[in-house]
Structure 1
Amino acid sequence: MTGTRRTTDRTRNTTRPPAPTLVAVAHGSRDPRALGTVLELLELVRELRPGLDVRLGHIELNEPLLPATLAGIGAGDAVLVPLLLGRGHHVRHDLPRAAAEAGALRTRVAAPLGPHPLLVEALYARLVEAGWRDEDGASRGSAVVLAAAGSRDPDSAADARRTARMLGDRLGGVPVLPAYTSAATPTVPAALRALAARGRHRVAVASYFTAPGRFATTAAAAAPQIAAAPLGAHPAMARLVLHRYDQALADAAPSRGDLARPLLLATA
C-alpha cells in the first residue's frame, strides 16, 4: 500500500502542467468568408501542435469576442497571438487591455505576425497562385504593390516597408511598393499610378491581409492584372502563429502587473 502511494506521488510530481492556451486574436470582419478562413488557419495550427488548446477571439465584428474567449478559459495561462501583420493600436493597446482585464488568467501578448520570412513565403505563394511567374522578375516592366490595411502608427508603416523589401528580395529584386487601404499613404491606386509612371506596367497586387474583408476586396479591385488572395490558411502562416506563441513563452514569466505592454521585442 505504501509503495503504491509513493509511486503515485512520484507520478504526480513528474506530470507536466498543461501548455498555456494559444488564443489567436483576429480583427473581425463583416465579410462572411473571414471567419471561415481564420478557422481553417487554426485547424492547421492544431495539426502542427496536437494537444495544444487553440482558441479564437475577435477584436470586433465577429464572435467570439476576445473578452468572452478569455473568460471561457478561466484560470491558468494563455498566450494571445495577434493574427495582425504589424504593430498598431490593436496590438499596443487593445490586446494588453483585454489581457489585463482577464481576471485570474495569467497572460502574455505575443508579437504580431509580421514582419517575418514565413509571411513572405505565404505572400509569394499567393502571388504565384494568382498568375505571377518567376520570369516576371526579369522584366523591367514588372512590379508588385503590397496592399496593407494601414495605420497611423509609424511603426506599422515601418513593418510594411520591411516586408516589402523582403518580398522584393524573394521575387529576385522586383520593386515592391507598400500601399494602404486606410489611414496611411500612398493608397493602392496612387501606388499603381506611381509605378506606371516609372514604366512598370505589369504590376501585381499582393494582399497583405490575414483573411478576406472589405480592405482586401478594395485592394484587389484596383489591381490592373494580378490580384493575389489574402494570406489565409497557408501552412507558413500556421507555422508562424506557433513561432510567435513559442517566442512569447520563451520570454520572461508572465505576471498580471506586466500585462500593460505586449511583447514586441522579437519580430523575426
Structure 2
Amino acid sequence: MTRPALVCCSHGTDSPEGRAVISAIVGAAASLVGVPTYETYVDVQYPQIDEVVASFDGPAVIVPLLLSPGFHTSVDIGRAASSREGLVATGTLGPDPLLVDILVDRLAAAGLRDGDRVVLAASGSSRPEAAARVEEVRAALAARIPQPVTVGYAYGATPKVADAVAEARGDGRVVVASYVLAPGHFANLVAAAGADVVTDPLGLAPDGSAEPRIAQIVAARYAGV
C-alpha cells in the first residue's frame, strides 16, 4: 500500500530568513518520514494549500506548521482536507512537550535568572481554542521553571506582548520566551515589545539552522494519523 504524502502547510512570510527556516524544517521532516513531501502556505507565499492538494493524486496527510489552531486551520486547511478523498489534516504543532523543552533550553541559554519574570509570547488569534492551547503551554512551562510565567500576544488577542511585559515589570528583568515558529512579522512584533531579553523563534536553532525537534513533531503528527 502506498503511504500518504506529507503536506507541510505554514502561514507564509516575507522574511527570507523565515522562509529558509520553514523550508529547512520541511526538508528535515521529509527525511524523517520518507515519503513525497510538499511545502505549502495559507498566506503571503505560493503555492498555497488548495493548489498543492489539487496538483497530485493519492492520499496525503496535511500537517499544519502552526503552533496553535485558529482561522487558518479551520478554514484554509480544513477546506483543503475536505476537498477530495484520501486527505486528512492533523492537529497543530502545539501544544507538545518538545516545544516546552525548546522553550526551557532557550531560556537557559538566554541566562534566565532568579527574580526574572517570563512572558510567553504567541502570535495570537481571535479563536478561543488558540488561547486555550497557548495556556496549556504556559502551564507546562511554568511547571518547569521557578520564575512566574504569563502570556502575551503579538496580534489578534489580548493582552498584547507589550502590555504583558509592562504588567510583568518589577524589580527584576522581563524575559520574553518567543512562542513563534520562525523569523518574520510576528517575531518582529515580539522582539519590539520592550522586554529585557527575547529568545529566538522556536524553529531557529542556536547555530542558525532549523531546530530538529520541530521536524520530529511534524513526523510524529504524520505517524499519528
Does 1:33 pair with 2:17?
yes
Shift of 1:200: 5.3
Q: Distance in 2 between matches of 1:213 and 1:148?
A: 13
Q: Distance in 2 between matches of 1:52 and 1:75?
A: 14
Give the TM-score of the pair, scaled to structure 1: 0.77
1:121 corresponds to which residue?
101
Aligned counterpart for 1:238 among listed residues 208, 215, 220: 215
Shift of 1:126: 2.8
Does 1:111 pair with 2:84?
no
Cα pair 1:195 1:201 within 8 Å, conserved: no
Q: How does 1:226-265 map to 2 (within 5 A)?
A: 226-232=197-203, 233-247=210-224, 249=225
Does 1:93 pair with 2:110?
no
Shift of 1:120: 0.8
1:200–1:215 Cα change, 3 Å: farther
1:213 corresponds to which residue?
184
2:207 corresponds to which residue?
none
Q: Distance in 2 between matches of 1:216 and 1:239?
A: 22
Q: Distance in 2 between matches of 1:23 and 1:75?
A: 13
Shift of 1:44: 1.9
1:156 corresponds to which residue?
130
Aligned counterpart for 1:81 among listed residues 53, 63, 68: 63
Shift of 1:90: 1.1
Cα pair 1:55 1:69 within 8 Å, conserved: yes
Report the secondary structure of 2:59's partner residue. Answer: strand
**Aligned positions, number:** 219
Amino acid at match of 2:14: R
2:35 corresponds to which residue?
52
Report the secondary structure of 1:222's partner residue. Answer: coil
Q: Distance in 1 between matches of 2:93 and 2:19?
A: 18
Q: Distance in 2 between matches of 1:46 and 1:121?
A: 22
Shift of 1:99: 2.2
Report the secondary structure of 1:55's partner residue. Answer: strand
Unaligned runs of 5+ in 1: 1-16, 250-268
Q: Distance in 1 between matches of 2:76 and 2:138?
A: 26
Q: Deviations over 1:82-139 (max 9, x none)?
A: 01111211111211112223x4x5100100111111111122233334x234xx2xx2
1:66 corresponds to which residue?
49
Shift of 1:77: 0.4
Amino acid at match of 1:144: V
Does 1:178 pair with 2:151?
yes
Cα pair 2:178 2:202 within 8 Å, conserved: yes
Amino acid at match of 2:176: V
Shift of 1:18: 2.3
Cα pair 1:132 1:204 within 8 Å, conserved: no
Cα pair 1:34 1:213 within 8 Å, conserved: yes
Shift of 1:47: 3.2
Unaligned runs of 5+ in 2: 204-209
Q: Distance in 2 between matches of 1:149 and 1:132?
A: 24
Q: Distance in 1 between matches of 2:108 and 2:24?
A: 21
Cα pair 2:6 2:30 within 8 Å, conserved: no
Q: Distance in 2 between matches of 1:19 and 1:28?
A: 27
